[in-house]
Amino acid sequence: MSTTPGPRIVLVGPPGSGKSTVALALGERWQLAVRDTDSDVEATAGKAIAEIFVADGEPVFRALERDAVRVALEEHDGVLALGGGAVLDETTQELLTAYGAEGGTVVFLDVTLAHAAPRVGFNQARPLLLGNPRAQWQALMEARRPVYERLATVRVLTDGHRPADVAELIEQELAVLRRGEGNPS
């Protein structure tokens, strides 16, 4: 077991990659508390993310999100799911880089458009995907992919896997890594 302070695992990836859902599956599998920075932001703001975007604007949301990620990395020791765009913030990038360098696990949940589309349904709850959802998703994934890949210590392709199976795949990947580092699994 890791002795790194902070969360046991942090999940990053685009909308529909399954961060929130897989976090719950991992929490159940490992009997760990689950936290989601999108929920933390909504609790702090007292309104839904879509409402924050409309009423206050994206910069306000991103500032709330930056604080939520910092606090969660400091005080949460279970499974942590981030919002899809949280990794774009420079402070968050620095914090995740440091967390990974100290032995923390950052998993990039990868997914292709064909599999993400039916999952998210591209509805009103995801303000960044309004307009032409497929094109928006593709553009943001293209821009963010290098960031997800750079910050992640593990990448798991989720296409065609149910959330519980993704959790199992993550566990297997981590076991392979531990063995590679010469630690028993």
Ligand X SMILES: O=C(O)C1=C[C@@H](O)[C@@H](O)[C@H](O)C1
Annotated binding site for Mg(2+): 20
Site string for ligand X, 10-29 (x = CB under 6 A): -----x--------------
Instruction: Work out whether 84 is an interface residue with ligand X (CB under 6 A).
Output: yes
Stretch that binds Mg ion, among 17-25, 105-113, 165-173, 177-185 (CB under 5 A): 17-25
Instruction: Work out whether 38 is an interface residue with ligand X (CB under 6 A).
Output: yes
Residues belonging to the binding site are 16-21, 38, 62, 84, 126, 144
Rounded least distance, CB 156 to Mg ion, Å:
16
DSSP-based helix, strand, coil % in the chain, nearest 5: 60, 10, 30
Instruction: Work out whether 35 is an interface residue with ligand X (CB under 6 A).
Output: no
Residues belonging to the binding site for ATP are 16-21, 126
Q: Give the H or E element holding residue 10.
A: strand 9-12
Q: Which pairing describes strands 34-36 and 79-81: parallel, antiparallel, or unpaired?
A: parallel
With beta carbons less than 8 A apart as the criterion, state whether 30 and 80 touch: no
At 76, phi and psi to the nearest 5?
A: -95, 135
With beta carbons less than 8 A apart as the criterion, state whether 161 and 111 touch: no
Residue tagged 């999108």 (tokens): 38
Interacting residues with ligand ATP (CB under 6 A): 13, 15-21, 38, 81, 83-84, 119-120, 126, 158, 161-163, 166
Q: Which does 128 bind (CB under 5 to 8 A by kind): ligand ATP, ligand X, Mg ion, none?
A: ligand X
Rounded least distance, CB 120 to ligand ATP, Å:
5
Instruction: Work out whether 6 is an interface residue with ligand X (CB under 6 A).
Output: no
Instruction: Work out whether 116 is an interface residue with ligand X (CB under 6 A).
Output: no
Say how many residues make up the chain: 185
Binding to ligand X (CB under 6 A): which residues in 166-185?
Answer: none
- Distance separating alpha carbons of residues 148 and 160, to the nearest angstrom: 20
- Distance separating alpha carbons of residues 167 and 159, to the nearest angstrom: 13
